[in-house]
Amino acid sequence: MKIHKEGRRILFFTLLVLLAVNLLLFQLNAENGTFNRIFVGASLVAFLILLQFFRSPARRLFTHEDLIIAPADGKVVVIEDVHESEYFDDTRKQISIFMSPINVHITRNPISGIVRYFKYHPGNYLVAWHPKSSTKNERTTVVVESEVGPFVLFRQIAGAMARRIVWYVNEGDEVSQGEEFGFIKFGSRVDIFVPVNTEMKVQIGEKVKGGQTVIAQLKV
């Protein structure tokens, strides 16, 4: 198990602060050993919780040119036909994956191809399951022209806890299925928009793994 690069600085400074506070407590509050030991235990638990936010497990990636692979770990919470207004301005099938704080927060390319559109949107921090979070929250939008033709749009969406979205792609980049395209610190949601005739391979409520679970198959 590795620690993702996005978490190394946060973890380092958090560890320094916790060590400093605990050492100070033992010096200034030496007579209250019980409290100090409880505080040490609480500090350790807090650091371990933060540590698991930034874990980067090894993955055997699954790739296929006409299959859509889950871009993140989490649970499928939406499968529906909607009007996508930012890029396509027509009806698309939306698949949404909710990332809880205990999920891996790496986001991966669901398809291989060329990035034809990218935009970062500053915004609010509504809870991820709020209907307006996909258009009101901080988010990124990426559109990839797949190797087999159809365009696929996917969004990183910040939630109530997530206050920082990181991305590694730009317009014109060639991306490979399963590779990291970003990171959402402390989790949230990823939306994927595909043609309405796309064949679904998952159901609402199903848990998926980024880079491994097939969620849909493009019609070509």
Q: How far apart are CA 64 and CA 218, in angstroms?
A: 11
Is 24 within the bounds of a domain?
yes
Is 62 within the bounds of a domain?
no
Compute CA 214 distance to the chain's CA centroid, rounded to the nearest angstrom. Answer: 17
Mean pLDDT of 28-50: 83
Catalogue the active-site residues: 188
pTM listed for this prediction: 0.83
Predicted confidence (pLDDT) per residue in 17-37, tens digit: 989 888 888 887 777 778 878
Domain that holds residue 10: 2-56
Residue type at 218 in one-letter notation: L
Q: What is the CATH number of the domain that holds 176?
A: 2.70.70
> What is the DSSP-derived secondary structure letter of residue 32?
-
Is 41 within the bounds of a domain?
yes
* 3-class DSSP string for 77-144: EEEEEEEECCCCCEEEEEEEEECCCCCCCEEECCCCEEEEEEEEECCECCCCCCCCHHHHECEEEEEE
> What is the DSSP-derived secondary structure letter of residue 72?
S
Sequence-distant (6+) residues with CB within 8 A of 31 are none
Does residue 77 share a domain with residue 21? no
Predicted confidence (pLDDT) per residue in 117-161, tens digit: 999 998 766 655 555 556 677 889 999 999 998 999 999 998 655
Q: How many domains does the chain divide into?
A: 2
